[in-house]
Amino acid sequence: MYAFSAYLIWGFLPLYFVALAPTGPWEVVAWRIVLSLVFCGVLLTLTRTWPRLRAILRSPRLALWTVAAGVLIYVNWQVFVIATLTGHVIETSLGYFINPIFTVLLGVLILRERLRPAQWTAVGIAAAAVVVIVIGYGAFPWIALTLTASFGLYGLVKKRIGPSVDAVSGLTLESLWLTPVAVVQLMLVAVTSGITLGAAGPLHAVLLLGAGVMTATPLLFFAAGARRVPLTLIGLLQFVTPILQFTIGVWILQEPMPVERWIGFALVWTALVVLSVDSVFAARRGRRAVADVAELA
């Protein structure tokens, strides 16, 4: 339920950000960073876990990894909000559909893992999907690929950090490093279009102030769920987010979906089916192997 709740919230985020109009994407992300820092500070105080944060800061290696994570999640947040508020929710869903396949590819390129034949097949089909979208739709899916790369690399950084950095401390530091960027963005918005917080009614102000909670909550839920369930289940649950985003983009926001894009998405979905089936069978084989060893012992 923790993991499912995280993916459910992420899936509905496009509607939340659309409801923040007339706030622009640069102001939304700036408030998202600042308010996430405030929210995490409150959590650290309530849970009395400030010593964990200080322990991380005493390790230059861990602190630098949190800086890297902060940069990557900033790129992800900013591109996602810009895409959502400019009518490209369907393309954001494509990015998160491709993300599991990109993660598998990262395992080969960086972690020197070996892929099974079915995994290579899934990677090949996904690559073909991108080619189809570029040629048929006539546009390079930079939003989808940027979201895929940034979130995939963010996950890799989190894997490198491991259990040394807990979820709340990690998000606190990531938000802390990004706060100067957020302040600059708010200053630029103030002298150009103007800050909208408090200028568009009380309901809008409440929603905008809730951006920090909406940012931190699913990340904390995800961390709690990932520690309790098998990675295979996490991998299958993550499709909840792009399915919801795709549904919102097509049926609620009425974004265009030409034939070429349907073909590209169909190829991506085929690749995901291949990857998911292979993961399930691999997990079963692993459990059987462990059981056989236990019986021999």
DSSP notation for 249-284: IIIIS-----HHHHHHHHHHHHHHHHHHHHHHHHHH
Residue 295 pLDDT greater than 80, yes or no: no
Residue 239 pLDDT greater than 90, yes or no: no
Q: How many CB atoms are located within 10 Å of the residue 180 CB?
A: 10
Report the pLDDT value the prediction gives residue 286, as an integer from 0 to 100: 66
* Percent of residues in the chain assigned helix, strand, coil, to nearest 5: 85, 0, 15
Local confidence band at 134 (pLDDT 50, 70, 90 cut-offs)? confident
234, burial (CB in 10 Å: exposed 0-12, middle 13-18, buried 19+):
middle
What percentage of the chain carries pLDDT values higher than 90? 44
Residue 15 pLDDT greater than 70, yes or no: yes
Local confidence band at 195 (pLDDT 50, 70, 90 cut-offs)? very high
Average pLDDT over residues 51-71: 93
Cα separation, 125 vs 174, whole angstroms:
35
Q: Are 88 and 143 contacting, i.e. CB atoms less than 8 angstroms apart?
A: yes
Residue-wise burial string across 124-135, b where 16 or more C-beta atoms lie within 10 A, e elsewhere: ebbebbbebbee
Rg for the chain, CA atoms, rounded: 20
Local confidence band at 181 (pLDDT 50, 70, 90 cut-offs)? very high
Report the pLDDT value the prediction gives residue 230, as an integer from 0 to 100: 65
Cα separation, 241 vs 220, whole angstroms:
16
Average pLDDT over residues 240-265: 89
Q: How many CB atoms are located within 10 Å of the residue 1 CB?
A: 11
Instruction: Read off the pTM.
Output: 0.86
Domain residue limits, the chain: 2-296
- Chain position carrying tokens 């691999």: 282
Local confidence band at 184 (pLDDT 50, 70, 90 cut-offs)? very high
